[in-house]
Amino acid sequence: MSAEEKWLVSLLLVLIVALVVAFFLYLLGAYRKGGWREVRVSLILAAVALVALYVVRVAENSEIRQLKDAITRSTQPR
């Protein structure tokens, strides 16, 4: 593994740890605000946001794939 790959892997690891810490602090703030009920609501909101992000990503990839297929079909000789 090259030095650049090691640097990128460590950067990815730092990003993952930062996201986990941010999520924990988000839930801790929800608990302090309203107890376990607020934590449950916050978890549901976070899950919906993650699912929505995934759905948008899949839709974008689908559109890109369709565009690539259309370009490929239009550039092929008949």
Backbone Cα Rg of the chain = 21
Of 58, 26, 55, 57, the C-alpha closest to 42 is 26
Task: At 77, give phi and psi (nearest 5°).
Answer: -70, 150
Domain count, the chain: 1
Domain that holds residue 58: 1-78
pLDDT means over runs of 10, the chain (78 residues): 91 94 90 90 90 91 84 80
* Start-end of H helices in 1-78: 3-75
pLDDT at site 78:
66
- CA–CA distance, 46 with 50 (Å, rounded to integer): 6
pLDDT at site 64:
85
